Structure 1
Amino acid sequence: MTLFESARAVANAGGDGAIDWDAVSEAAKAATDPGDLDLSEAEAEAYAADVRDARAQLRDVSGLEFDVPETVEIQNRHHWVDANVATFRRVFEPLNERASYLPGVARSLNTATTAGALAFVSRHVLGQYDPLLLADTSDHALYFVHPNVVGAADSLDVAFPRFRRWIAFHEVTHAAEFGAAPWLADHLEDQLEAGVAALADGEVRREAFRELHVAMTAVEGYAELLMDEAFDGEYADLRAKLDARRRGGSPLTNLVKRALGLQLKREQYERGRAFFETVAAERGLAGASRVWDDPEYLPTDAELDAPRAWLARVTDSAGETAE
């Protein structure tokens, strides 16, 4: 696989839609080393054990009833690309139903941009809880990108088994959230569909994307809070090193992150964590978990920076007396 092959896949992008998804997959994988996925049976079982332990401890700490997805995959980078191309294809299908004034040029540009984004992220993503948005299934999926987990543990100078377990706890925390809030996947799908449909009509519906960003900030922030409560070991150094990793990188890497909007992901972690730390300090984990009781209990964009305003609103809605 070479960059030349990647460029050739983009240049040969075909079809009638705005994006040639087969070319996206081919180009992204051509530009990315798949990484080593030669695991022993014991190493594969260690991932499974971490997931089982995370489920048990998160249930115990949070009191939330949930299960992990039936699909739990240990992937290389190419596997991750294929899984996410499938999601992108579903989400952005409305764009493929629109004609372009310069269909060939636009298709190649869209294909190249999407392939480049997926190739970049595939080299950095560690794990992913995939709610399989807009898929014709009620199941979700859980992925671990093994070469990246190994590489990150090495670069951060952390023992691989401990780091792998930390990542497992983080991703299983998302299973807890989606299990506690059966409405959450539908809520995210509604915002995605509204935003993409508007794009297909040549409009930018900022409100839909803003609501999606706010919801994901709540998802990531609560996950940070809950995994710190449930993880069975020291984690301060892991948290510090991962925070530094999210902020770090070469100037070129940071430029690409900004271009792809990945700084928003870091903001979701940091802003969401600060929100839930304040809520939990006043009302405990049970108070923070109220966010999953109803879609109306998601914080607004303004409330993320004013958690006591959220507490007052949720308390009033529930007819409770503030402490």
Structure 2
Amino acid sequence: MNLYRSARAVAGASGDDAIDWASAAEAAKAATDPGSIALEAGEQEAYARDVRDAREGIRTVSGLEFDVPDTVEIQNRHHWIDANVATFERVMGTLEDHAPPGAFPGVARTINTGTMTVLLAFLGRNVLGQYDPLLLAETPDDDHALYFVRPNILKAADALAVDSDRFRRWIAFHEVTHAAEFGAAPWLSEHLERRMEDGIAKLSEGSFDRQAFRELDAAMTVVEGYAELLMDHAFDGEYADLRRKLDERRQGRGPLQRLFRRLLGLGLKRRQYERGKDFFETIVDARDLETASLVWEGPEYLPSHEELDAPGVWLRRVER
């Protein structure tokens, strides 16, 4: 780590955009130990095997037709930062497109770049794996991607006192469930993109489109909750201890870590996991997994914000 180089990169932010993305990436990497991707013998094949097994297991229990992305990468923390700068830039670009000329003077740009640096560095040190649907990509045919941040996986397994191979496999199953969702529902990416663009456009005009963000939150709750449901059915090993220890680790972090998680909306993501999982467990208990999978038939099958807390209402609507 080189905090001086990080601060210097932020201070040198330039350009016409709200954020100097090149400086943010440089500063975040300077503030973050990259970690090692010096793979042990057989480790690369183990990652590949986990992904293949996850694909077959999830196909079997869900009946969904999908494939994993062509791009599957074992990354260090710097690799993850580089891969996600483009994603953040695409999302923020929607806001910048609606901003008036000269809206981002030098001081504001420096502050924005510093804020993004902190965000990228924090996530780069904590993300374990990621399925990236490449939302708002310029070319719709761009392949989705699957990332594993090896140093973070090893560090978390050590902190949790769990077997690193089993933990890595569990992460692989979780991320491949997201590939299953987006593969089974080709309309999902566009649905999420529209809600993001609508909400950001309103923000740039100084207003808040509550409905757009409620619909986005509901859709992401479905994505996270269904992934949790498939994990329960598809993972070929014991995982209750992994979930319990991860939850305890999140809750037991220091005040600064908890503050960062609140500021970054990671508490919201956890709520999406829990709320979505409760919804789908209720549906499966009342019907079956096939009925739960109806959510991927089209956007009209997605539960509304209210239906997520009233699964019976959703059931009556889709079974008419």
What is the match of residue 95 of structure 1?
A: 95
1:287 aligns with 2:291: yes
SS of the residue 1:73 aligns to: strand
What is the match of residue 104 of structure 1?
A: 106
Letter in 2 for 1:237: D
What is the match of residue 222 of structure 1?
A: 226
Alpha-carbon spacing, 1:101–1:58, altered in 2? closer, same or farther (3 Å): closer
Return the alpha-carbon distance in structure 2 between the equivalents of residues 57 and 95 of structure 1.
40
Return the alpha-carbon distance in structure 2 between the equivalents of residues 140 and 195 of structure 1.
24
Report the Cα offset of residue 179 of structure 1: 1.1
What is the match of residue 173 of structure 2?
A: 169
What is the match of residue 9 of structure 1?
A: 9
What is the match of residue 71 of structure 1?
A: 71
1:118 aligns with 2:109: no
**The 10-residue stretch of structure 1 (99-108 or 147-156) with the greater mean CA deviation from structure 2:** 99-108
Letter in 2 for 1:277: E
Return the alpha-carbon distance in structure 1 between the equivalents of residues 134 and 28 of structure 2.
20
Return the alpha-carbon distance in structure 2 between the equivalents of residues 252 and 306 of structure 1.
36
5+ residue gaps in structure 2?
Answer: none
TM-score, structure 2 normalization: 0.95
Report the Cα offset of residue 94 of structure 1: 3.1
Please, what is the CA RMSD of the aligned residues?
Answer: 1.4
SS of the residue 1:87 aligns to: helix
> Contact conserved, 2:36 with 2:76, CA < 8 A, in 1?
yes
> Contact conserved, 1:19 with 1:96, CA < 8 A, in 2?
no
What is the match of residue 85 of structure 2?
A: 85
TM-score, structure 1 normalization: 0.94
5+ residue gaps in structure 1?
Answer: 317-323
> Contact conserved, 2:17 with 2:104, CA < 8 A, in 1?
no
Return the alpha-carbon distance in structure 1 between the equivalents of residues 163 and 120 of structure 2.
28
Return the alpha-carbon distance in structure 1 between the equivalents of residues 112 and 40 of structure 2.
40
> Contact conserved, 1:18 with 1:100, CA < 8 A, in 2?
no
Give the paired residue count: 316
Q: 1:260-311: per-residue Cα shift (whole Å, max 9, x none)? A: 1111011111111111111111111111111111101111111111111111
Report the Cα offset of residue 202 of structure 1: 3.0
Letter in 1 for 2:119: A
Return the alpha-carbon distance in structure 2 between the equivalents of residues 95 and 229 of structure 1.
40
Return the alpha-carbon distance in structure 2 between the equivalents of residues 205 and 18 of structure 1.
22
**The 10-residue stretch of structure 1 (123-132 or 232-241) with the greater mean CA deviation from structure 2:** 232-241
> Contact conserved, 2:16 with 2:104, CA < 8 A, in 1?
no
What is the match of residue 59 of structure 1?
A: 59
Return the alpha-carbon distance in structure 1 between the equivalents of residues 228 and 26 of structure 2.
34
Report the Cα offset of residue 41 of structure 1: 4.9
Return the alpha-carbon distance in structure 2 between the equivalents of residues 190 and 246 of structure 1.
32
Letter in 2 for 1:116: V
Report the Cα offset of residue 47 of structure 1: 0.3
SS of the residue 2:116 aligns to: helix
Report the Cα offset of residue 100 of structure 1: 4.5
> Contact conserved, 1:58 with 1:230, CA < 8 A, in 2?
yes
Return the alpha-carbon distance in structure 2 between the equivalents of residues 153 and 56 of structure 1.
25
